[in-house]
Structure 1
Amino acid sequence: MAPPNVEDSAFFVEAKAQGRTVVKDPPKFDFESYIANYQGRTRLERLYLIGTTSTYLSVDALHAAIAEAKQGKDVNFYSLLTDRLHQIVQDDPLGIPDVQWCERKTKEVKAELESLEQQLKQYKNNLIKESIRMGHDDLGQFYTDIGDHASAMKSYARERDYCNTTQNVADMSLKLIYSGILQRSWATVNSNVSKIQPMSLKPEEKARLDPICNAVLGLSQLASGNYREAARQFLLVNPSFMTNDKQANITWQKQVLTGNDIAVYGGLCALASMDRSELQRLVLDNNDFRQFLELEPHIRRAISLFCGSKYTQCLEILEAYRTDYLLDIYLNPHIKELYGRVRSKSIVQYFIPFSCVTLQQMAKAFAPVGDVSIEDELTEMIHRGVLDARIDLVDKLLVSPPTNPRTQVHANAIKMAQDYEHTLRLRLVRLNMMNEGLVIKAPKGHQQNQSQTLESGFDPVQAAQVVGGKSWGG
């Protein structure tokens, strides 16, 4: 349990004042089990987010992150972690940077960089393409380890001229994708996925790469706020993703996102962007995605409840896991929008069968979130055009606008009659034009149907004015 003074620390007080997310409630996941699913840079980033967002897990997460950072080479990130811990718990000994380690590691990093650059220079002098490619690859991995993702991308991109096989190009593109994810450069991710997909690879190689491409495209679309496309990509991920071997020396299901993440991201994006029939057909009846949903049964249950018109229970499940999702590095910026869309859809679907509902009943079915009352929420939805209804402030009712089916039938009948009359008038004009010999015949060798000649680029209404004095009926 977090020390009692964590929430009142200078760091979290400032975070609240600046409007940043601060989570007070404990999450449902077990911290040790959760973080054990990840490796590499994403493990560090997730620990940092938890440490700077959750007052309940802050100290534990930062302790774990500092221990993890000292096993690596990124001195700057280690210094950031110790600084954050010191701001949160000033008397914590781990909040004081290990100066000796920093100095020693900085020297080691500098020496390693000089060695790698010297090796690459020798490879270039020897003009051995494969050695040059490997030299750039080693440099890219080094920059990734020290957290310089921009330089890592440049090094990997320089491999292009020295790739001898399609597999070399695919590996280079995968590493660029990985660096792009770490740098949050989603354009880089998308462009390199588009280069991998059309490659002429062996069937078994393609079967290993396709799930990765779908997963990272889904992640890219989620980060960009394109939730429907994100859902589509996550739903395409083959379950083999969870058991694949390393590709381009990267364990994607641990160093980027896990099978649990795919279930949660795909399920939430689908809930936010698809209607009930699509959710049933594309999500619940999807045999491949069902294997991911088995890892997160509450997501499957929430989708099933939504499809069964049990919106209150669906939203209750999502609310129960809000804390967990606020501690996720990719969901954190989007959880408010995703939950808002699911809630708005639920309210709209709930109201469809009714002509009017009391605001009290709406508040009971959809418990207000935060300080926003159900009346204010419904008003905002009506203003945005999401909900076709009116609010009766006197009787406290949500009222469906009156509709008269007979009026609609009459309107459709009048429209059909007008269209029919217009068509008949055009035909009569054409007959009159033909009777008066005002049809231009096609030259020899270019036989065309007369009606096509007349109607192409021809306005019968203007022509009718030319034939003034002639009756419409001829």
Structure 2
Amino acid sequence: MADTLDAYFKLMEDQGGVIVKDTPRLDIDLYIHNYRGRTRWERLFLIGRTSTRLCVDALKAAVAEAKNGKDINRYTEAVEQLSMACPTDRDAVLDTDWMERTEQANRAETQRLEAELRGYKNNLIKESIRMGHEDLGKHYETIGDLSRAFDAYSHMRPDVSTPRHIVEVGKHLASVSLQRRDWVMVATNLNKLVGYQNGEDDKAFQPYQKIATGIALLGQGKYTEAAQSFLEVDNTVPSTTYHDIASANDVAIYGCLLALATMDRKDLQTKVLENNNFRAFLQLEPHLRKAVSQFVIGRYSVCLAILESYRPDYLLDLYLQRHVAKIYAQIREKCIVSYMVPFSCVTLDSMNAAFAAPGQSVEPELAGMIRAGKLQARINKIDELVTTVPVKPRLKVQKSALETARNYEKEAVERIRRMSLAAADLEAKGPRRQPAGGGQSQTLQGQMSDLAYEDLPSA
């Protein structure tokens, strides 16, 4: 059994997967209970392919979750992975009878919904056509045909009649784009809905919009904007309105980690610790509240130790896994820079005590930060010191003044040119595009405009 698992994870590692060998703190049953819909299978499948400790349990749960749905491809993938990790398990064999029954049922349901939609189109009833496309899109999404589901939801747009319908269409499209990892489309569809949420009923959509937008920004590596989006999630709306994409615990985790990576101490105090709206989420993850508090008061080693103890859990997260290393590196760099701020000179021993692992030195990391321009300091190898490079405020002010003067002069020249053109009753236009045949013709007006820019005297 152990040899089979070792071979399985060696294969996963060769394929570029992330392998977590440490024991995570999460319990699979309690963890997956916070989610509904297709994200349950995605999270179980990821844990099974990543965690050496939870592999078999997670893959068995993924097989059971797939059999509760209608997506045959997901069932096949889960059984295939389980057969590689634990060939002797009874769930590691494909249930061909279930697959045939499900395939027939899916085909029959598709034909029925398409026939209904054709009837609605013949009757020219807009509301029925909209609902027909929605039912067909939900069916395609359930069986895993996300491309056709996206098309079906898109066809709802010409038949919407109320702002609520517009919100529903945007939510469907964002949900499918989220499953396809099309981060740009997620943000695009949700941004179109700004201004449509009015009234108490539409208030429930705010958390979904903020969380989905935050996940999309996180996927694009825009950590600052993503942190702001998670910190603005309304805590008065039940998590059942968004548990098909994330949980309330996820909001706290994403918000805190991204805030630690991008915000300074003042913003962390006001926007995280003193944020009454975000406090309800923060109470679900008290260790993160402690980590932020320790950073704010300057106890950086304690903050980093807390985060490191929960790294295995965050590496098992569906949306956070690819970004954990980068986020942790940014937080660590912030801690080192903030540690150096009050001092002009620090010993390497004290830096090692605060930031280095036992038996290791932080010197190579400091050298890399200095070369990258992230830390303004120098390393004195002879005296084992790290000295900060003094900032010259006078030089900084002089550079800023010169840059401002150059910008002012450039703007003044452009204004004078425009005034000269207006006084000569001329109109400035750009050169016309060349025709397909490659002609080089230019209008007399364009020529006059070029002359006006070059030859007119200044006003």
* TM-score (structure 1 length as normaliser): 0.81
Corresponding letter in the other structure for 1:148:
D
Corresponding letter in the other structure for 2:208:
I
Which ranges in structure 2 are unaligned for 5 or more consecutive residues? 406-422, 424-457
Q: Secondary structure at the match of 1:22?
A: coil
In structure 2, the CA distance between the partners of 1:329 and 1:132, relative to structure 1 (3 Å rule), is: same
What's the CA shift for 1:207? 2.1
Tell me whether 1:254 sits opposite 2:243 in the alignment.
yes
Corresponding letter in the other structure for 1:152:
A
Q: Secondary structure at the match of 1:391?
A: strand
Contact 2:205/2:241 (8 A) holds in 1? no
User: Which of 2, 5, 11 is equivalent to 1:4?
Assistant: 2
Corresponding letter in the other structure for 2:230:
F
Deviations 1:46-72 (A, max 9, x none): 000000000100000010110110111
What's the CA shift for 1:91? 2.0
Contact 2:5/2:86 (8 A) holds in 1? no
What's the CA shift for 1:354? 2.3
Contact 1:189/1:220 (8 A) holds in 2? yes
Q: Secondary structure at the match of 1:390?
A: strand
Report the equivalent of 2:410.
Answer: none
Corresponding letter in the other structure for 1:238:
D
Contact 2:207/2:242 (8 A) holds in 1? no
Report the equivalent of 1:366.
Answer: 355
Contact 1:140/1:153 (8 A) holds in 2? yes
Task: Give the superposed CA RMSD.
Answer: 2.4
- Specify the structure having the higher radius of gyration (Cα): 1
Contact 1:197/1:210 (8 A) holds in 2? no
Contact 1:6/1:55 (8 A) holds in 2? no
User: Which of 366, 383, 400 is equivalent to 1:395?
Assistant: 383
Report the equivalent of 2:235.
Answer: 239
Report the equivalent of 1:438.
Answer: none
Matches of 1:372 and 1:218, distance apart in 2: 37
Matches of 1:212 and 1:254, distance apart in 2: 9
Report the equivalent of 2:448.
Answer: none
Aligned length: 404
Matches of 2:152 and 2:82, distance apart in 1: 34
Q: Secondary structure at the match of 2:88?
A: coil
User: Which of 9, 14, 17 is equivalent to 2:11?
Assistant: 14
In structure 2, the CA distance between the partners of 1:187 and 1:402, relative to structure 1 (3 Å rule), is: closer
User: Which of 272, 275, 290 is equivalent to 2:261?
Assistant: 272
User: Which of 323, 335, 356 is equivalent to 2:312?
Assistant: 323
Matches of 1:17 and 1:168, distance apart in 2: 46
What's the CA shift for 1:351? 1.4
Report the equivalent of 1:336.
Answer: 325
Contact 1:326/1:332 (8 A) holds in 2? yes
Which ranges in structure 1 are unaligned for 5 or more consecutive residues? 244-250, 423-442, 444-462, 464-474
Q: Secondary structure at the match of 1:213?
A: helix
Contact 2:231/2:255 (8 A) holds in 1? yes
In structure 2, the CA distance between the partners of 1:412 and 1:390, relative to structure 1 (3 Å rule), is: closer
What's the CA shift for 1:225? 0.8
Corresponding letter in the other structure for 1:366:
F
User: Which of 184, 188, 193 is equivalent to 1:187?
Assistant: 184
Matches of 2:294 and 2:348, distance apart in 1: 23
Corresponding letter in the other structure for 1:22:
I
What's the CA shift for 1:240? 2.1
Matches of 1:380 and 1:36, distance apart in 2: 43
